[in-house]
Amino acid sequence: MSVTTSLAEAIAASLNAQGFTPAITAIRSHLPIFDLGQVGDALQVSVVSRSVLVTAASRNSTFFDVSTDIGVQKRIDPNDPAQIDALLDLVEQIGDHLRLKPLDTFANAQWLSSEHDPVLAAEHLERLNVFTSVLTVTHRIAR
């Protein structure tokens, strides 16, 4: 299995083992493309490989900086700020869980950075009543 797929699997497993509020089931996917109009009331958490940057670590080793997107989506009432606040808190919980902690099934992947963009996809909320937020987490793997 590729390093990107292995890392995405490890992230999904780590998220699924954690007790978040609300509870989640993270699913690793290569193509998280689905009809946003079909997003239901159930919370969807997608883990998708985003990119790899390979740099020299020494003369005979490299660093693989692997970025992984974690998308959180749910149909909500856009006029209810409490629903939006709760989901933004969940995304923050996910980020806190992954920050500076080794992954149980990929211990040599070290957390390097996190980026929360978009914090909230306004066009999804405005047009489709779907909350969408993406957290990009980058891990460094020495090889």
The pTM for the full model equals 0.93
Q: Is 36 a residue whose pLDDT tops 80? A: no
137 pLDDT exceeds 90? yes
Q: Does 38 score more than 80 pLDDT? A: no
Contact 78, 126 (CB under 8 A): yes
**Average pLDDT along the chain:** 94
How far is Cα 48 from Cα 30, in angstroms, rounded to an integer?
6
pLDDT band at 80 (very low <50, low <70, confident <90, very high): very high
50-72 pLDDT, tens digit per residue, is 999 999 999 999 999 999 999 99
**Residue 32's pLDDT band (boundaries 50, 70, 90)?**
confident
Q: What is the model's pLDDT at position 51?
A: 97
Q: What domains, with CATH codes, occur in the chain?
A: 3-30+43-142 (3.30.2000.10)
Give the residue-averaged pLDDT of 124-132: 93
Look up residue 139 and give its two tokens.
């891990």
Altogether, the residues listed in the chain come to a count of 143
> Quick one: which of 77, 16, 23 has its CA closest to 47?
16
Q: Which of these, 62, 52, 58, 48, lies nearest to 15 by C-alpha position?
A: 48
pLDDT score for 33: 64
136: Cβ contacts below 8 Å, ≥ 6 apart? 50, 67, 68, 69, 70, 114, 115, 116, 117
